[in-house]
Amino acid sequence: MSQWPTLARQGLWSNNPALVQLLGLCPLLAVSTTVVNSLGLALATLFVMIGSSTAVSLVRHQVPGAVRLPAFVMIIAAFVTCAELLMAAYAYALYQLLGIFIPLIVTNCAILGRADAFASRQPVGLAALDGLMVGLGFGIVLVILGGARELLGHGTLFSNMELLLGPIANGWQLTLAQDYQFLFFVLPPGAFFVAGMLIALKNVIDQRRTRHSARPAATIARTERRVRVTGVIK
Amino acid sequence: MSMLHASQAADAPISTGGTPPTASLMRWVAAATLPGIMTMTAFFGLGVLSNIVLAAAFAFVLESTVLYLRKRPILPALNDSSALVTGVLLGASLPPASPWWLIGVGMVAAVVIAKQLYGGLGQNPFNPAMVGYALLLVSFPAHMTLWAPPQPLVGESLWAQIMGSLPSEQIDALSGATPLDAFKQKADELSATRFWANDPLPAGTLEAWRMISLAWLAGGALLLARRIISWHIPAALLGSLALLAMLFHLADANQFASPTFHLLTGATLFGAFFIATDPVSAATSRRGKLLYGAGIGTLIIVIRNLGGYPDAVAFGVLLMNLCVPLIDLYTVPRPEGHARGAMR
């Protein structure tokens, strides 16, 4: 189980699906208008991610290579349906708010990417952990993006959290600016802008760290085909 | 020396002694905005000047700050006056006496994001002033359509408006529509003649806009005479705009305004001479410039007549900025002596 720290670091930081692979941008940019929207979609994606990675790993010896992608999509779709029904049962208002973006989790290429690149060739435990870490990495970026856009666009934080968390979250809303609205950050261009800034921030932190550490960064074992869009290919 | 080099030398900015060519070019552009700005001030009051002064101040402060953060030499970049021109152009596009924060947000988008984040002067794919304008128009539609009727606005009222402390009822009382806006909001069944017969605008509005447009034209003529801009972009822009407006007008004169209305109101002439001709974000070759200008003119009319916004110079310019790499790729001039098509 020596791969666990590596998997965690890759999923959360160095191969983060949202900041490095730039996968799953459609829900990332469309839904991240508020913290509650982001958190709802992040939890649903995390659930699907863990479930599908585990299931794909379980059936990996039975699925022939030629039909693996349709089979994986079917598995993912099954978990997305579960997530959708669960959300409709326990957080109906949020379910209505997120609308089409819950079924669209099926087409989130971060999930299919992990299923094909990692889960289909690794044992169950590792695949589940990878699903958890990549899902967390995606979810954390989604929530940060939602928070930044809610703050910059509406001047509030944690509004309507009761839609997801129930009555305990009543009154969680922090209003940092009264009568404030900056539509740019509410609309999709603002999502691109904030996501770009987050990627830039990550690259700056990476640069600082390589500059400060005298020894070269440890080489990461190449156990899977990695997809990178931003950052430096090591 | 080939014909290509000779023609480029003719297009190049004239260098006046010690000042670098970019600075002299930018100062001429700034000088050529004076007739337009003075006419606007005469009709809309001191709010026009406060916009421009604030925008230029923001431009200098933001440009120096970003250059300092980027560890670049500050003085040479400030000295080329490109930030000043961006400030003047954005300031002149905004409704008179815009609040300071509106100008500040627009200038951050223009100088910090559209210009410096892309690598500074010469690297920006989009016209900085229009990025700022488009961001403000999308984000704060209420403030951006707040054109006061042509009346001098002075003293405390002006100050209160700039500081953003004017109560909203008073702002509503001050606001008026631009001619383009008024015509766009005309009821469909109302015929154009009846609409204009009803005096839909405060007295003098249409005349004010016409005079301002002609003043921008005068400034543009100065730029053309000094060979700071070539005629290709403005001619193609105005020509395609007039032609398309004519076609729309002939199809349904009640829905679509006449070509003269489109040419002389809104930001058409200002955009044609001062915005679309930005040397950094426009197409490079002569054929490319013609295509680029015609594209902007077409987009302006399509958006004005069929789209949701009353004016569309900013969107037209930004959308065509996006096409410039493609236009430049397909309009590489054929060097003298090369066969047709040999370049590809």
**How high is the pLDDT of residue B16?**
44
Q: Are B109 and B149 in contact, with CB atoms under 8 Å apart?
A: no
Mean pLDDT to the nearest integer, B86-100 = 91
A170 versus B303: the higher-pLDDT residue is B303
How far apart are the CA of B249 and the nearest CA of chain A, in angstroms? 34
Please report whether residue A229 resides in a domain: no
| B44: enclosing H helix or E strand | helix B34-44
CB contact under 8 A, B138 and A182: no
Please report whether residue A96 resides in a domain: yes
pTM of the model: 0.83
Partners of residue A184 in chain B, C-beta under 8 Å:
135, 138-139
**Looking at the complex, does the CB of residue A187 fall below 8 Å from at least one CB of chain B?**
yes
Partners of residue A189 in chain B, C-beta under 8 Å:
138
Beta-strand runs (E) in chain A: 156-157, 174-175
DSSP B319: H
For residue B307, count other CB atoms closer than 10 A to its CB: 14
- Residue A231 falls in which region: left (phi positive, over 0), alpha (psi -120 to 50) or beta: left
Cα distance between residue A58 and residue A128, in whole Å: 10
Please report whether residue A175 resides in a domain: yes
CB contact under 8 A, A183 and B138: yes
CB contact under 8 A, B135 and A184: yes
**How high is the pLDDT of residue A1?**
55
Which of A123-132, B40-49, B75-84 tops mean pLDDT? A123-132
Q: What is the tens place of the pLDDT at every residue in B107-145?
A: 999 999 999 999 888 889 999 999 999 999 999 888 887
Please report whether residue A228 resides in a domain: no
3-class SS shares of chain A: helix, strand, coil, % to 5: 70, 0, 30
The ipTM assigned to this model is: 0.76
Partners of residue A193 in chain B, C-beta under 8 Å:
113
Two structure tokens written together for B205: 């509005």
pLDDT band at A180 (very low <50, low <70, confident <90, very high): confident
**How high is the pLDDT of residue B310?**
84
Q: Hey, is A228 helix, strand or coil?
A: coil
How far apart are the CA of A160 and the nearest CA of chain B, in angstroms? 23
Domain that holds residue A157: 4-207
Partners of residue A183 in chain B, C-beta under 8 Å:
138-141
Tell me the longest C-alpha to C-alpha distance in chain B: 69
How far apart are the CA of A200 and the nearest CA of chain B, in angstroms? 11
**How high is the pLDDT of residue B12?**
45
% of chain B at pLDDT higher than 70? 86
Nearest CA in chain B to A188: B138
Q: Where are the domains of chain B?
A: 6-331
Question: Exposure string (b/e) for B24-34, b if CB count within 10 Å is 16 or more?
Answer: bbbbbbbebbe
Strand partners, A156: A175
How far apart are the CA of A153 and the nearest CA of chain B, in angstroms? 9
% of chain B at pLDDT higher than 90? 48
How far apart are the CA of B242 and the nearest CA of chain A, in angstroms? 32
A56 versus B186: the higher-pLDDT residue is A56
List all residues 6 or more positions away from A18 whose beta carbon is below 8 Å from its beta carbon: A24, A25, A28, A110, A137, A138, A141, A142, A145, A195
**How high is the pLDDT of residue B309?**
86
Total number of domains in chain A = 1
Partners of residue B140 in chain A, C-beta under 8 Å:
182-183
B197 versus B229: the higher-pLDDT residue is B229
Q: What is the tens place of the pLDDT at every residue in A19-37?
A: 888 888 888 888 888 999 9
**Looking at the complex, does the CB of residue A189 fall below 8 Å from at least one CB of chain B?**
yes
Two structure tokens written together for B203: 């007295």
pLDDT band at B303 (very low <50, low <70, confident <90, very high): very high
Q: Hey, is B231 helix, strand or coil?
A: coil
**Looking at the complex, does the CB of residue A184 fall below 8 Å from at least one CB of chain B?**
yes
Two structure tokens written together for A203: 């690259």
Size of interface A-B (CB pairs under 8 A): 13
CB contact under 8 A, A183 and B135: no
Among candidates B105, B113, B138 on the partner chain, residue whose Cβ is nearest the Cβ of A187: B138
pLDDT band at A147 (very low <50, low <70, confident <90, very high): very high
